[in-house]
């Protein structure tokens, strides 16, 4: 079974052109099959403000009304996605920019209204990924670059969390490839002390994760990321790595980086 890297980059990388170029160069040097997933950074909010559309956030999550959906579709699926694809071509990666609607690769369903109406936000089911279709692209020599957009199969685009898309792709393709899921962001990995980059925790298994949660070392925003990571591992993903975008090149050199999660 061939190996596959699925790598998600955060908005902080996208917002910094130097960081983005360093990352894309390192991404290109990774051998074998790979998929890139990206969010939107600050550009969607800035463009929305220019157009007189105010960003509405609840607990750090964007409320996606129809006007906001138009903006994020333009920015995520257009401006950011195509700029990343063009830069990857420059470095020698034959990238192809996609949303979940392209090739019916990732379907989602509109999030039901409970206490909050998130608008046109998509939730992904376990069987939402068209693994065979994506595999055909990989086998043809293309490197898919997915933006944070899916569709419902009824003609409606949906704004969807990029972390969730990356995890769903990793799980969906784990039956065809030895899949490693990598989250690249602005920290070296999971830290014992959020303010101390030298406090990196290099390896976490489920037992260690329970200990770190009980001790209050892992908390708040890192919890859903790690919960999703261990869920993906439970569904057949080989390992999940969380680390700094600037350190991705170490993986291409055969070295480890960040925090590695595994069974």
Residue stretches of the annotated binding site: 40-41, 62, 159
End-to-end Cα spacing for the chain: 20
Which tokens sit at 90? 């420059």
3-class secondary-structure state, position 25: helix
Distances (CA, A) of 197 to 72, 168, 173, 214: 33, 29, 33, 22
Asked whether 29 and 7 are in contact (CB, 8 A), the reply is no
Asked whether 86 and 132 are in contact (CB, 8 A), the reply is no
Angle, alpha carbons 83-91-29 (nearest 5°): 120
Q: Which stretches within 118-221 are classed as H helix? A: 131-139, 162-173, 206-214
Among 98, 92, 124, smallest CA distance to 25 is for 92
Asked whether 185 and 244 are in contact (CB, 8 A), the reply is yes
Which tokens sit at 70? 């138009």
Kindly report the number of other CB atoms within 10 A of residue 91's CB atom: 14
Which tokens sit at 195? 């303010």
Distance CA 166, CA 179 (A): 11
Q: List, as residue ranges, the binding site for substrate.
A: 40-41, 62, 159
């Amino acid at each position: 079974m061939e190996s596959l890297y699925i790598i998600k980059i955060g908005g902080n990388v996208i917002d910094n052109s130097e960081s983005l170029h360093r990352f894309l160069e390192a991404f290109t040097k990774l051998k074998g099959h790979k998929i890139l997933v990206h969010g939107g950074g600050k550009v969607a909010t800035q463009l929305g403000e220019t157009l007189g559309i105010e960003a509405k956030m609840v607990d750090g999550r964007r409320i996606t009304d129809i006007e906001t959906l138009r903006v994020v579709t333009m920015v995520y699926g257009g401006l950011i996605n195509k700029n990343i694809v063009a830069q990857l071509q420059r470095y020698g990666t034959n990238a192809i920019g996609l949303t979940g609607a392209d090739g019916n690769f990732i379907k989602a369903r509109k999030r039901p209204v409970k206490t909050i109406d998130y608008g046109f936000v998509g939730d992904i089911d376990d069987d939402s990924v068209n693994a065979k279709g994506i595999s055909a692209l990989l086998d043809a020599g293309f490197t898919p670059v997915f933006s944070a957009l899916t569709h419902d199969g009824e003609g409606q685009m949906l704004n969807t969390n990029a972390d969730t898309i990356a995890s769903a792709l990793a799980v969906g393709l784990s039956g065809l490839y030895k899949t490693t899921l990598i989250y690249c962001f602005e920290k070296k990995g999971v830290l014992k002390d959020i303010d101390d980059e030298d406090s990196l925790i290099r390896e976490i298994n489920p037992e260690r994760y329970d200990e770190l949660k009980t001790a209050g070392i892992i908390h708040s925003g890192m919890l859903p990321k790690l919960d999703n990571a261990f869920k993906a591992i439970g569904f057949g993903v080989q390992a999940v790595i969380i680390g700094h975008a600037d350190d991705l090149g170490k993986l291409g050199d055969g070295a480890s980086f960040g925090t590695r999660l595994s069974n």
